């Protein structure tokens, strides 16, 4: 019988967590902002989708230590609504 592989979960340092949170807030800002004037609707929808996906991955992490994930979850809903409206 094969041995079970043990996969250690990545646990970032406080500094790394801050960087991840900052990057997530960049996605929040993009989603909550307006489409660039030169962006085609398909391009804007793709950009929104990538940022929504990024936030979904981030809020699923178990290593957060008190950071407010409310803006991230709100931006996920807002991004999905914007995509649906395009």
What is the structure's pLDDT at 9? 82
Average pLDDT of every residue of the chain: 94
d(CA 26, CA 22): 6
Higher pLDDT, 9 or 11: 11
The pLDDT value given to residue 53 = 98
Q: Which residue has the tokens 């340092």?
A: 13
Q: DSSP characters for 3-39?
A: PPPP-PPP---HHHHHHHHHHHHHHHHHHHSPPPTT-
- The pLDDT of residue 20 is 98
Indicate the pLDDT class of residue 36, thresholds 50, 70 and 90: very high
* Boundaries of every domain in the chain: 14-60+68-85
């Amino acid at each position: 019988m094969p041995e079970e592989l043990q996969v250690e979960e990545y646990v970032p340092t406080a500094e790394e967590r801050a960087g991840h949170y900052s990057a997530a807030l960049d996605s929040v800002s993009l989603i909550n902002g307006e489409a660039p004037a030169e962006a085609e609707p398909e391009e804007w929808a793709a950009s929104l989708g990538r940022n929504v996906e990024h936030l979904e991955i981030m809020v699923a992490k178990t290593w957060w230590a008190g950071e407010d994930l409310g803006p991230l979850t709100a931006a996920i809903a807002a991004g999905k609504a914007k995509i649906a409206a395009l």
